[in-house]
Homo-oligomer: A and B are copies of this chain.
Amino acid sequence: MASRTIENYLKQIYLSRPADEAQWLTMGKLSAAVGVTPGTATSMVRAISDAHLVEYEPRAGVRLTPAGEQLALHVLRRHRLIELLLVQVLGLDWSEVHEDAEELEHVVSDRLLMKIDEILQHPAFDPHGDPIPTAGGVIRRQDCCTLLDCPLGEPTSIARILDQSAEFLQYVNQCGLLPGAEIRVANRNHQAQTVELMAIKSGENQVVAMSFSVAEKFLVQLNEQKK
C-alpha cells in the first residue's frame, strides 16, 4: 500500500500536471505543490518511480504511469466524496472542509467510502463543483468556460470554483455564486478589466462586479433549455 506521503505526491502530480499532455511536470512545480524542498521531491519521486507509479527523467520532470494515475484518482475520489459528506451530512461550511479532507483522504477504508457514496447517492460533483472520479477511476471532463469566455446575456449557471482558499470561498458565499447558482453575464469592460453579472437569487436579481482575474476563477455552464 502507498504511504500517505506517496498518495499526496501522486495527487499533486495529477492536479499540477500541465494542460499539454506531452509536457512533463517540473520538479520545481511539484516540490512547491507538495510543500517540500526540491531535494526532497527529487528523492521521493525517485522512490515512487522505483514503484512504477511515475516516470521520472532527471532535469525533465515527472509524469504518472497508468497505475499511478489510477491511484491518484482514487485519492481524489476519497477527497471529494469526503468534502461533500462534511458539507451535506455533517453541516460544515464548504469553505472549511478542505483541510479535514486532506487528512481523511488517506484513512477512509474502501468499505466506509462505499457507504459514504451510497448516502450521498453517488454524486458526480463535490461542493466546489470539482468532478468526483468513479470507483473505477474514470473522471468526466466538463465542458465549461470561465466568466471571461462565456457568452453575454444568456442564462448560465456557476459550475465550479477554481480558487478554493477559505477566504475566497467565503466571498463567493456572500455573492451567492455557489455552484448551481443561476446567473447572466451582463457586460465586460475591457478598459476597467471588470465583469458585471446578475445573480438570480430566489427571483431577485443581484448585481455583482469583479475583475477579470477573479472572473477567471469561476467556471460556468450554459443552462440547458428544455424544449
Is there contact, CB below 8 Å, between B91 and A111? no
Residues of chain B within 8 A (CB-CB) of A107 are 103-104, 106-107
The answer to whether B109 touches A90 (Cβ under 8 A) is: no
Query: Known pairs A86-B112, A107-B107. 4 more at Cβ < 8 A?
Result: A90-B119, A100-B108, A100-B111, A104-B104
Main secondary structure of the interface of A (DSSP, over half): helix
A89 to B118, CA, bound (A): 12
- Determine whether the beta carbon of A100 is less than 8 Å from that of B112: yes
> A175 within 8 Å of B by Cβ?
no
Mark interface residues in A87-118 (1 if CB within 8 Å of B CB, else 0): 00111100010011001101111011001101
B104–A90 touching, CB < 8 Å: no
Q: Which residues of B contact A118 (CB under 8 A)?
A: 91
The list of the 4 closest CB pairs from A to B, nearest first, reads A103-B107, A90-B115, A100-B112, A107-B107
